[in-house]
Amino acid sequence: MRLWEKSTQIVAPNQSIVRLFSLLKPSSLKGFMSLFLVGVSLSVAIASCSPNNSGGNSSAGAKSGDLELTLVSYAVTRAAYEKIVPEFTAKWKQEHNQNITFSQSYGGSGSQARAVIDGLEADVVALALALDTKKIEKAGLIQPGWEKEAPNNSILTKSVAALVTREGNPKGIKTWEDLAKDGVKVITANPKTSGGARWNFLGIWGSATKTGGDDAKAQEFTTKVYKNVPVLPRDAREASDAFFKQGQGDVLINYENEVILAAQNGQKLPYVVPDVNISIDNPIAIVDKNVDKHGTREVAEAFVKFLYTPEAQREFAKVGFRPVDPTVAKEVAKQFVPIKTLFTAQDLGGWDEIQQKFFDDGAIFDKIQAGS
């Protein structure tokens, strides 16, 4: 169980008061209790605003009244948004003479999706995989077709799978194929309960189908890999704890961006990036029902648009994400391992088909587990 933190409002430099306020309003009791129970790992609200200008500046572009925008995302994006949000609010203030404050909530992607469904009134959701966003859509909060509402099919950032090894890589792990070898113990979370582990599963499966194998070969190979998985933790955090704290396994399947961010925080990990890899695509969406309720659609749309600018994409790149902006991608190309064969969830049929084919009860993953 994780504790909710009180959130901090950061005020413009010439204001002297730092105000503490709760992320969740008292009326959001249902959403709060749901969040508390699912154990969202982190919630913090950061407000960035400029001083009020009440001196009669009433140009056509000026707005009246401050607005609050609620951004709900998954944990590892926090460092980037701490830089991006103040840039956006300053830009909006300059162009519209209106103060925008941001409440930001961070936690596991699946938990965040459930929180929004249960009452956390997000205006914008930036989650780890489209399947989580689709759950919010199915709950009636996001209109169908959201993928076409932002550039790049609403994919905001990207990463790939990385194989974290023990120091010196004693098992000589370099490719997906090495995970199926006798004597290799693989740590990955359960894809039935972890969104991140679904990417891991698809990376393993696609490494077979995208190199000439059919579904039968892919299932045979994937079964061999999961025979080498001694435990299936509930989520990515538990998988990391099993590998690092409990010393289980020879290799941990993780996101490249998380490994890069860990290195920036002083934890340099030995890892390899397979040259046949899954594009881990992270989407963004406006929560239509909430922005219409809050009167924040215009600001939310502008914020989403800003996230695709080179300025924002550079901040994502700094914390390990592969940018979707072509200019920034060229600028930072040398910091990433080149991928020879890159495939997407869409190449595997899209998330609706993926869920039915692999992760529903009685689907392929259950069959693999039965044969492991």
Average pLDDT in the 32-53 region?
A: 40
pLDDT, residue 372, reads 60
- pLDDT of 207 higher than 50: yes
- pLDDT of 48 higher than 90: no
- pLDDT of 47 higher than 50: no
Percent of the chain scored above 70 by pLDDT? 83
pLDDT, residue 89, reads 98
Burial class from Cβ neighbours inside 10 Å (0-12, 13-18, 19+) for residue 274 reads buried
Q: What is the CATH number of domain 7-157+282-331?
A: 3.40.190.10
- pLDDT of 22 higher than 50: no
Helix (H, G, I), strand (E, B) or coil at 321: coil
Separation of alpha carbons 354 and 341, rounded Å? 20
Instruction: Tell me, yes or no, if the two domains 7-157+282-331 and 161-278+340-371 fold the same way.
Output: yes
The amino acid present at 168, given as its one-letter code, is: G
Separation of alpha carbons 353 and 351, rounded Å? 5
Separation of alpha carbons 264 and 172, rounded Å? 25
- pLDDT of 67 higher than 60: yes
pLDDT category at 181 given cuts 50, 70, 90 is very high
Q: What is the mean pLDDT of the chain?
A: 86
pLDDT, residue 44, reads 40
Q: List Cα–Cα distances, 350 to 22, 264, 268, 355, 357, in angstroms.
A: 38, 33, 34, 9, 10
Among 298, 246, 329, 359, which Cα is nearest to 65's?
Answer: 298
- pLDDT of 7 higher than 60: no
Q: Where are the domains of the chain?
A: 7-157+282-331, 161-278+340-371
- pLDDT of 23 higher than 80: no
- What pLDDT digit, counting tens, does each position of 136-160 carry? 999 999 999 999 999 999 999 999 9
8 A C-beta contact, residue 102 and residue 10: no
The amino acid present at 152, given as its one-letter code, is: N
pLDDT category at 212 given cuts 50, 70, 90 is very high
Range in 47-61, 193-207, 263-277, 309-323 the model is least confident about: 47-61
CB atoms within 10 A of CB 21: 13
Start-to-end C-alpha separation, the chain:
31
CB-based contacts of 324-327 (< 8 A; 24+ apart in sequence): 324/151, 324/152, 324/155, 324/156, 324/157, 324/158
What contacts 62, CB < 8 A, 6 or more positions away? 96, 97, 98
pLDDT, residue 56, reads 36
Q: What is the CATH number of domain 161-278+340-371?
A: 3.40.190.10
- pLDDT of 317 higher than 50: yes
pLDDT category at 63 given cuts 50, 70, 90 is low
Percent of the chain scored above 90 by pLDDT? 75
Beta-sheet pairing, 161-165 with 251-255: antiparallel
Q: List Cα–Cα distances, 372 to 199, 223, 227, 269, in angstroms.
A: 20, 6, 5, 29
Separation of alpha carbons 44 and 88, rounded Å? 18
Average pLDDT in the 117-130 region?
A: 97
What contacts 239, CB < 8 A, 6 or more positions away? 187, 188, 189, 194, 197, 233, 252
pTM: 0.80
pLDDT category at 85 given cuts 50, 70, 90 is very high
**DSSP secondary structure of 251-286:** EEEEEHHHHHHHHHTT----EE--SEEE-EEEEEEE
Beta-sheet pairing, 161-165 with 19-21: unpaired
- What pLDDT digit, counting tens, does each position of 234-266 carry? 888 899 999 999 999 999 999 999 999 989 888
- pLDDT of 9 higher than 80: no
